């Protein structure tokens, strides 16, 4: 009489509990690896590019500030020619910022008419110093205006 003795296998049967337990661990590890890989990619591409990102359109004063022109011991200089031409007026200005104390707005063209001429009167308004707008001149930078106003209040 021969007997069939069942042999034990060395592998454990997969149960639903084991699948849920180890499957969630494996999927969490894969998902975490993907996130870490993406973060490394973002870091490498933003740091390694070396290009400055476009900050949007800036005014002269924010450009001058960003360059350190309004720093206390600055000897920076900004010059800009501004042309305005419309149906009514045509003016050309040279705007000069030097260091943190000197600002000039020189009228180069459009100001040479008679004093009672509306076109030249309009253009002369924006000259600094000497124009009728004074510190309200939009061609002056805000840092300079604030500094001038605070020094006038202190006197």
How deeply is 64 buried, as exposed, middle or buried, from its count of CB atoms within 10 A (0-12, 13-18, 19+)?
A: buried
Q: What confidence tier does 50 reach under pLDDT thresholds 50, 70, 90?
A: low
**pLDDT beyond 90 at 66:** no
The angle at the Cα of 124, spanning 64 to 110, to the nearest 5 degrees, equals 95
Sequence ranges of the domains in the chain: 15-44, 60-154
Supply the DSSP string of 109-130, one letter for each residue: ES--S-TT-HHHHHHHTT-BTT
Specify the pTM.
Answer: 0.52
Tokens of 60: 């002269």
Q: Which residue has the higher pLDDT, 54 or 99?
A: 99
Looking at residue 104, its pLDDT comes to: 83
């Amino acid at each position: 009489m021969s007997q069939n003795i069942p042999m034990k296998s060395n592998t454990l049967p997969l149960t639903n509990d084991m699948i849920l337990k180890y499957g969630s661990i494996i999927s969490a590890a894969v998902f975490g690896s993907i996130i870490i890989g993406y973060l490394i990619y973002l870091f490498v591409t933003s740091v390694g590019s070396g290009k400055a990102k476009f900050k949007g359109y800036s005014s002269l004063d924010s450009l001058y500030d960003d360059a350190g022109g309004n720093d206390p011991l600055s000897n920076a200089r900004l010059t800009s020619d501004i042309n305005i031409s419309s149906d009514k007026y045509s003016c050309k200005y040279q705007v000069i910022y030097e260091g943190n104390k000197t600002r000039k707005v020189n009228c180069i063209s459009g100001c040479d008419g008679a004093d009672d001429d509306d076109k030249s009167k309009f253009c002369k308004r924006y000259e600094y110093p000497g124009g009728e707008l004074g510190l309200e001149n939009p061609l002056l930078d805000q840092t300079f205006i604030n500094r001038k106003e605070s020094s006038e209040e202190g006197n």
